[in-house]
Structure 1
Amino acid sequence: MKEPQLLIVEDEQAILHMLITILKKENFFHIDAASSAEEALVLCKMKSYDLILLDITLPGRSGFEVCPLIREISDASIFFLTARSTDLDKLSGFAVGADDYITKPFNPLEVAARIKVHLRRRLGSVPRVEANLFEFGPLSVNTNAGEVRLHGQPVELPAQVYQLLLFFCRHPNQLFSKSQLYEKVWGEEFFGEDNTVMVHIRKLREKIEASPSNPKFIVTVRGLGYKFIPEGGTHESL
């Protein structure tokens, strides 16, 4: 397995140094560090990370604010690292996209163990996504070439359908409502009677699904929205 890429976003130098020291001893990760939200965003645009340790209390933007921005450009798992330990804080963290929530003070050895377990599960079941190439079983998307292939054969997609697929590729296993997809992909405010998303979902399924009426990649969650399943396994469209 390729060495996992880890980013620690922490402005307290003592905590940052402690985490780096402990995690490097594991000889399991490649570690980068950032001391602010803006620095973290720059790094995420330059490099593909597997997991991000994100402090909530940062100078400028908080972790709560920057987490959704990271989600826009990275499919990394995100662990919040914070002294805030109330149930409301934890729920807020998960609501904005966190995968786990670690409260201070913490045992750094436990943190290392939790990261390793999570990454082994993640990298063992979810295909590796490089900065410019997404590969999900028979489906591949090369963003440099703007090329989509299915079972090695090129697939021609209209521009907006391609952008929809690209958004799904960047956010695997995440549920999005029609309004969220419209606002994220089309960049406009959603009006409830607009069927644009449904039409483009149907067009995309016709291009990449073996059976568009029984989709394996892009599944419908009744009453909630759509989810991209990178494994393309057996899932029932509801």
Structure 2
Amino acid sequence: MLAITLRFHGFSVVCAGSARAAVELAREARPDAVLLDIALPDGDGRHVCRVLRAERADLAVVFLTARDAPADIVRGLALGGDDYITKPFNVDEVVARIRAVLRRTRPPGPDPDAPPPPRPPVLRHGDMELDEATYTVRRGGRSADLTPTEFALLRHLVRHADRIVPKEQLLRDVWRYEQPVESTVVETYISYLRRKLDPLGPPLIRTRRGVGYGLRPVEPV
């Protein structure tokens, strides 16, 4: 059903019925995205994700599984999943979220005839610097190793540091979801940022329950 729906929407689709077949087919077909279940007949889909991620950092991985416990979702995203959809699901939502992941992971290539773009400025918030040219983050003079999605989320918060950003806006602007969806992906990535940034200085991200997230005001010197 998913393959038929995806083909109807213009995707080229290949299917695998086992973990081993999935790895072999991904190596052969080199897809832009993998839609991956966890409970496979001969193994764990999370192991497939680890294998494919180690070989191709640019591969988009979307988990589609009945395992909806928060710990399973966090683990799936921590292993390198770009999104996590739980069963039962709406096929149109799956299509929309795959497109959103691909927009985020495979931006359009540069025009070879266009002049080189100017170097983006370094964003600053208190003792933190975000270099958009090198995708590096430093806080208090020390580097923080962020994934591309973590960097994009932090950059959005810095650009809107004067307010609380609603979760729905983050899903739309960072994850490129065109329609409102129920997802814990924002909460999960906020926890990743806190885990990496808070050891380098005072707590940085604030939560407004039921609304969204923002950055704490910079203390005057």
Give TM-score, length-normalised by structure 2. Answer: 0.50
Residue identity opposite 1:45 in structure 2: R
**Which residue among 23, 39, 47 is the counterpart of 1:57?**
39
Partner of 1:117: 100
CA distance in 1, matches of 2:30, 2:68: 29
User: What is the CA–CA distance in structure 2 between the aligned matches of 1:21 and 1:215, rounded to whole Å?
Assistant: 39
The answer to whether the 8 A contact 1:80-1:93 is kept is yes
Q: Evaluate the alpha carbon distance shift between residue 119 and residue 66 of structure 1 in structure 2; reply closer, same or farther with a 3 A threshold.
A: same
Once the 2 structures are TM-superposed, how far is the Cα of residue 225 of structure 1 from its aligned partner? 4.0
* Cα offset, 1:215, TM superposition: 10
* Alpha-carbon distance, 1:137 to partner: 9.5
Q: What is the match of residue 161 of structure 1?
A: none
Whether 2:93 is the aligned partner of 1:85: answer: no
User: In the alignment, does 2:7 pair up with 1:24?
Assistant: yes
| Partner SS state of residue 14, structure 2 | strand
Unaligned ranges ≥5, structure 2: 117-130, 149-154, 156-221
The aligned counterpart of 1:73 is: 55
TM-fit CA distance, 1:86? 0.9
1:163 alignment counterpart? none
Deviation at 1:94, TM superposition (A): 0.7
Q: Tell me, yes or no, if the aligned pair for 2:83 and 2:101 is still in contact at 8 Å.
A: no
Task: Tell me which amino acid in the other structure corresponds to 1:64.
Answer: R
Write out aligned runs for 1:12-51 (5 A).
18-26=1-9, 28-51=10-33
Distance (whole Å) between structure 2 residues aligned to residue 34 and residue 117 of structure 1:
23
Equivalenced residue count is: 130
Alignment-derived partner of residue 84 in structure 2: 101
The percentage of aligned residue pairs carrying the same residue is: 38
TM alignment of 1:1-238, pairs within 5 A: 18-26=1-9, 28-74=10-56, 75-125=58-108, 127=109, 216-217=133-134, 219=136, 222-225=142-145
Q: Secondary structure at the match of 2:101?
A: helix
Residues in 1 aligned to 2:137 and 2:99: alpha-carbon distance in whole angstroms: 32
Q: 1:40: Cα distance to partner? A: 1.2
Q: In the aligned structure 1, how far is the partner of 2:147 from the partner of 2:72?
A: 26
Shift of 1:122: 3.2
Deviation at 1:217, TM superposition (A): 4.2
- Unmatched 5+ stretches in structure 1: 1-17, 128-135, 139-150, 152-213, 229-234
Q: For 1:31, what is the secondary structure of its paired residue? A: coil
Quote how far apart the aligned CAs of 1:100 are. Answer: 0.3
How many angstroms does 1:117 deviate by? 2.8
Contact 2:82 2:101 in 1 (8 A): no
Task: Give the distance between the partners of 2:46 and 2:15, measured in 1 at CA.
Answer: 18
TM-score, normalising length from structure 1?
0.47
Contact 1:52 1:77 in 2 (8 A): yes
For residues 114-141 of structure 1, what are the alpha-carbon distances to aligned partners after superposition, in whole Å with 9 as ceiling and x for unaligned? Answer: 112332343335x5xxxxxxxx999xxx
Aligned partner letter, 1:55 = D
Q: Deviations over 1:144-174 (max 9, x none)?
A: xxxxxxx9xxxxxxxxxxxxxxxxxxxxxxx
SS in 2 for 1:33: coil
Judged with a 3 Å threshold, the aligned counterparts in structure 2 of structure 1 residues 137 and 45 are, in CA distance, closer, same or farther, namely farther
